[in-house]
Amino acid sequence: MLLTDGHSAPMHKALLDTGLGTGYSPITYHEMLGKTAFAAFGLEGVSADDEGRVEVEIFKVLQECAEKGFEKDRVEGVLHQLELSLKHDSAQFGMRLLFGITRGWFDGVDPVESILLKEQIGKLREKLAEGPFFEGLIRKYFLENESRLVFTMRPDPEFEVKLKEREKTKLAERVSVLSEAEKEEVYKEGLALLQVQGESQDVSVLPTLTVDDIPKQEPSYPLIKETKSPRASEGLSTPVLSGKRQDTDVYWRHAATNGITYFKALIPLNGLPSELRPYLSILADALSSLGTKTKSASDFENEILLKTDGIAGSTVVTTNPHGTSIYFPANVDLDVFQEYLGISTACLDQNIPDMYNLLCQFIFETNWDNEAKLSSLIKTSASGLVNSVADSGSRYAALYAGSKLTQAKVLTSSSTFNLKGCS
């Protein structure tokens, strides 16, 4: 995380901000395989002339980090994110925990020790207090370790044609060595398999979840509405906006969240010209990537990570928001919709004032003059969107099919897979 995650990461600055590549390759991560681990760094979208530079730049970054270490605020920000992750609760928490310990357990790793993350973070803080820690790990496992693999993958425009030809040739070779009796046997086995597949199966042997096992009513937490006047709150750096001010509806829901406050703002985009809609997703991403007029993208990101779970912008399209509440509308009319710019974050309860201050900077002080960073962001977004089509083809098809039904679906699909807007 310290090396690669976020705009303040050394790898991001050296590899992406310089335009050497359009994004990290899919294998850029740290993987634990029981007691065995490996780390991989890579780029995609690299020009043929720059292929040799990638490995050189990666090791240059590693050498600099081994000599200079990491900024204290960045280290604290990453540790803060790890601590927040311990408090986040979700429906998948148990399964995620189980799958996280399984591989190490099979390899002799104590499963109890592997889930005591709070204690492990405490031990890490003790090692950091003793002196340079990560610097030594980088020297030992990256710079002094010659056991590594370096490879380059280049796209082949005729890949599918060649693949089909190889499959056709391989099938012909397999069939050519079969005798007539063997061919007949294969044919009979195919018929037998077809018959078995057509028979009804005994599903009683499978674990079953019945309707009676599902609670008929979920726990309900009342939604409380307040109307706030448009005045700067005490202690917050809210800028004074020109024009007519309007009251803002604020909705609160009090629930057991393990000491975390979740925040989401929806800014209506009424009257937005249609020609600007393709760029909404870029606008949402840019809010957290360009820094402010007084802070670089790296410094602003470090502040955000120290006090929140990260601040993210998004495009939101809701149908018929004029019901009994914004979450459970009544008399839904799919032809009535509302567009929003969404901003979401979360923080520990004691960091709420800092969260609001950061949100104000996030919304009002973004440095739109940072053209170099914006150009890098657009290229990375375009690369990610192209890859997401390959990884999420079914989702892309569903959104495209849905876009034929209502105008809201058209906007949803265009903001999710908007390749044109990033080109």
Distance in angstroms (rounded) separating the CA atoms of residues 421 and 400: 16
* Paired strand residues for 292: 366
- pLDDT attached to residue 192: 92
pLDDT category of residue 162 using cuts at 50, 70 and 90: very high
Tell me the angle at which helices 407-416 and 393-402 cross, rounded to the nearest 10 degrees.
150
> Which of 143, 172, 204 is the last residue in one of the domains?
143
For residues 126 and 273, membership in a common domain is answered with no
Q: Quick one: pLDDT at residue 188?
A: 92
* Domain presence at residue 33: yes
CATH number at residue 95: 3.30.830.10
- Is residue 69 within 8 A of residue 132, CB to CB? The reply is yes
120 and 258 assigned to the same domain: no
> 101 with 230, same domain?
no
Residues 386 and 254 in one domain: yes
Q: What is the mean pLDDT of residues 237-242?
A: 45
Give the tens place of pLDDT for each residue, 345-371.
Answer: 999 888 999 999 999 888 888 888 888
The answer as to whether 41 is a domain residue is yes
* 257 class by beta-carbon count within 10 Å (0-12 exposed, 13-18 middle, 19+ buried): middle
User: So what's the pLDDT on residue 164?
Assistant: 94
Domain boundary residue among 143, 171, 190? 143
Query: How sure is the predictor about 291, in pLDDT bands with cuts at 50, 70 and 90?
Result: confident
Tell me whether residue 248 is in a domain: yes
Residue range(s) defining the domain that contains residue 231: 223-422
Q: Assess whether pLDDT exceeds 90 at residue 113.
A: no
**Do 126 and 244 share a domain, yes or no?**
no
**Rounded distance between C-alpha atoms, residue 304 and residue 238, angstroms:** 17
Establish if 189 belongs to a structural domain: no
What does the DSSP 8-state code read for residue 200? P
Over residues 198-224, the pLDDT tens digits come to: 888 888 888 888 888 888 887 788 888
pTM of the model: 0.63
Question: Is residue 279 located within the same domain as residue 397?
Answer: yes
Q: Phi, psi (5° rounding) for residue 294?
A: -115, -5
Residue 193 lies in a domain: no
Quickly list DSSP for 350-396. Answer: GGHHHHHHHHHHHHH-B-TT-HHHHHHHHHHHHHHHHHHHHHTHHHH
For residue 36, being part of any structural domain is answered with yes
Same domain, 255 and 380: yes
Contact 401, 410 (CB under 8 A): no
| 244-284 tens-digit pLDDT | 556 778 888 888 887 888 999 888 888 888 788 778 888 88
Q: Which of 143, 163, 178 is the last residue of a domain?
A: 143
Q: Specify if 38 maps to a domain.
A: yes
**121-128 long-range contacts, CB within 8 A, separation 24+:** 121/79, 121/82, 121/83, 124/79, 125/79, 128/75
From residue 294, alpha-carbon distances to 177, 297, 319, 361, 373 in Å are 74, 10, 39, 10, 15
Q: Per the domain annotation, does 104 fall within a domain?
A: yes
Residues 241 and 114 in one domain: no
Amino acid at 336: V
- pLDDT band at 401; cut points 50, 70, 90: low
**CA atoms of 197 and 387, how far apart (whole Å):** 36
Q: Could you write out the DSSP letters of every residue in 145-167?
A: ------------TTHHHHHHHHH
Name residue, tokens 């397999």.
174
Q: Does residue 338 carry a pLDDT above 50?
A: yes
| Whether 139 and 240 share a structural domain | no
Q: Is 321 left (phi over 0), alpha (psi -120 to 50) or beta?
A: alpha
| Contact predicate 45/383, CB 8 Å | yes
Structure confidence by residue, pLDDT tens digits, 141-159: 888 888 888 888 888 889 9
Whole-number Å distance between alpha carbons of 283 and 203: 51
CB 238 within 8 A of CB 232: yes
Percentage of residues of the chain with pLDDT beyond 90:
12
How far, in Å, CA of 39 to CA of 130, rounded? 25
Per-residue pLDDT, 185: 92
Residues 139 and 278 in one domain: no
Provide the pLDDT for residue 242.
44
Report the pLDDT averaged over residues 302-326: 75
Alpha carbons 69 and 172: distance in angstroms, whole number = 59
Round the average pLDDT of the chain to a whole number and report it.
Answer: 79
pLDDT value, residue 391? 64
Of the listed ranges 9-23, 58-72, 93-107, the least confidently predicted one is 93-107
**Considering its fold, how many domains does the chain have in total?**
2
Domain match, 123 and 235 both: no
Q: Are residues 264 and 405 in the same domain?
A: yes
Residues 40, 300: Cα–Cα separation, whole Å: 27
Mean pLDDT of 298-324: 78
Phi and psi at residue 123, to the nearest 5°: -65, -40
pLDDT above 60 for 416: no
